[in-house]
Amino acid sequence: MEEIDIKTTREVGSFSYKALLMARDMVKPGAKLLDVAQKVESFVKDNGFGCAFPINLSVNEEAAHYTPTLSDEKVFGENDIVKVDFGVAKDGILGDCAVTVDLSEENAKLVDASKKALENAIATIRHGVAVKEIGKVIEDTIESMGFSPIRNLGGHLVKVHELHSDIFVPNYYNGDDTVLEEGMTVAIEPFATSGNRDLIVESDVCEIYGFAGEGLVRSPDSRKVLKEISEKYGSEPFAVRWLSNVISDKFKLYLAIRDLLRSGSIQQYPMLVGSGMITQAEAEVLVTKDGCEVLTK
C-alpha cells in the first residue's frame, strides 16, 4: 500500500469540506448553477488548491456528474433536491465529499436516509472490515427509512492522482469479501432514492471528461485543447468550461471535444440519472486500526 502524506491529506480533507459548505450555502432558489460553480472553484484556486474534479450540482433525479456548461443559464428551483459533490487537490492528494440540499424542505426523511446511512457506515469502518459489511449497514439503514439505496453507485478507495481506485464500497450487501486496511483513504457515499428502481443510468448529457491518452488528432484546435488537458489536468477529471481559455468560441470548443472523444484522447463521465428523487451524503475517511478518522470535516 502506498505511503500517504498525512499532513497534506488532512489539509485537503479539511479544505474540501470548507469548500463544500461554501457551495451548500450558495444553493438557493433562483441562484445560477454556473455562478455557484465559478465562485467555489475560484475560491479553491485562490487559496492554493486545485479542484479534484469539477463541482457536481446534480438536481432531483440526477444522481451525479452534472456540472454547469460554459454558458449555463440554469437556476435552482424552489422544490429542487440538490446534490453538491466536490473536493480539492494538492500535490496529487484528492478530497471528495458531498451533501444534499432540500430547497423544498419537504424531503427531510429522504435526505436523512443517506445522511444516517453515512453515519452508520463510518461507525462500522476499521482495519479488516469487509466492504460487504459496510454495504449491508448502508442498505439496512436506507431501507429501514422506506427508501432504496442506489446499487450501482458507491464509495471508493482514493489514491494519489486516482480518485476512484481499485476498491469499490457498495451501498448494499454484495458479498464482496475485500477488506479495508489501516492507512487507506476511502470515500463513503450512500445514495438513497424514492424511485421505483435502485439503479442509475448514463444520460446523453456530458460536461465532465478525463484525459485518456495521445490519440491521432489532426485539427489544430483539437491539438491545442489536448495539450492543455494533458499538461494541466493529467488523470484528474475536467469540465469543458475550464477550457474556454484555450478556445473561447463555444461551437469550436465543443467541436474539439467531440474530435478528441472520437480519437480516444479523452473519456467521458456522463450525467447519471435515476427514476425518482435522489439524495447523497459523502465523506472521506482514513482507515485506522480500531476505526477511522473523518478527513472531510
Domains 6-198+275-294 and 208-268 share a fold: no
CATH class for the region spanning 6-198+275-294: alpha beta
121-145 residue pLDDT tens: 999 999 999 999 999 999 999 999 9
Active site annotation includes 96: yes
Q: Single out the catalytic residue among 62, 198, 259, 282.
A: 282
Q: pLDDT above 90 covers what percent of the chain?
A: 95
Q: What's the pLDDT tens digit per position in 55-113?
A: 999 999 999 999 999 999 999 999 999 999 999 999 999 999 999 999 999 999 999 99
Which residue among 11, 41, 80, 85 is the active-site one?
A: 85
Residue 2 — pLDDT band, cuts 50, 70, 90? Answer: low
Distance between CA 53 and CA 44 in Å, rounded? 12
Q: Selecting from 3.90.1150.10, 1.10.10.10, 3.40.1710.10, 3.30.1360.30, what CATH number does the domain 208-268 have?
A: 1.10.10.10
Predicted confidence at residue 231, as pLDDT, reads: 95
- Would you state the pLDDT for residue 4? 76
pTM metric for this prediction: 0.96
Catalytic residue (one of 80, 96, 102, 198): 96
CA distance 187 to 128: 16
Query: What percentage of the chain reaches a pLDDT higher than 70?
Result: 99
Mean of pLDDT values over 287-295: 98
105 is catalytic: no
133 has catalytic annotation: no
Residue 237 has phi, psi (to 5 degrees) of -65, 155
Mean pLDDT of 37-49: 98
189, pLDDT greater than 80: yes
Confidence band of 234 (pLDDT split at 50, 70, 90): confident
* pLDDT at position 214: 87
pLDDT band at 174 (very low <50, low <70, confident <90, very high): very high
Hey, how many other C-beta atoms are within 10 angstroms of the C-beta on 183? Answer: 15
Q: Which of 41, 189, 198, 259 is catalytic?
A: 189
Alpha helices, H only, 125-249: 131-144, 220-232
Q: Which of 41, 62, 139, 156 is catalytic?
A: 156
- Mean residue pLDDT of the chain comes to 96
112 noted as active-site residue: no
* pLDDT-derived band at 1, boundaries 50, 70, 90: low
Per-residue DSSP letter, 179: B
Q: Give whole-number Cα distances, 86 to 7, 16, 17, 220, in Å.
A: 20, 7, 8, 33
The pLDDT of residue 196 is: 82
Q: Is the dihedral of CA 240, 244, 250, 252 positive or negative?
A: negative
Exactly one of 164, 182, 221, 293 is catalytic; which is it?
A: 164
The structural domains of the chain, with segments of one domain joined by +, span 6-198+275-294, 208-268
Q: Does residue 85 have an active-site annotation?
A: yes
Q: Identify the pLDDT of residue 238.
A: 98
Q: Is the pLDDT of residue 158 over 70?
A: yes
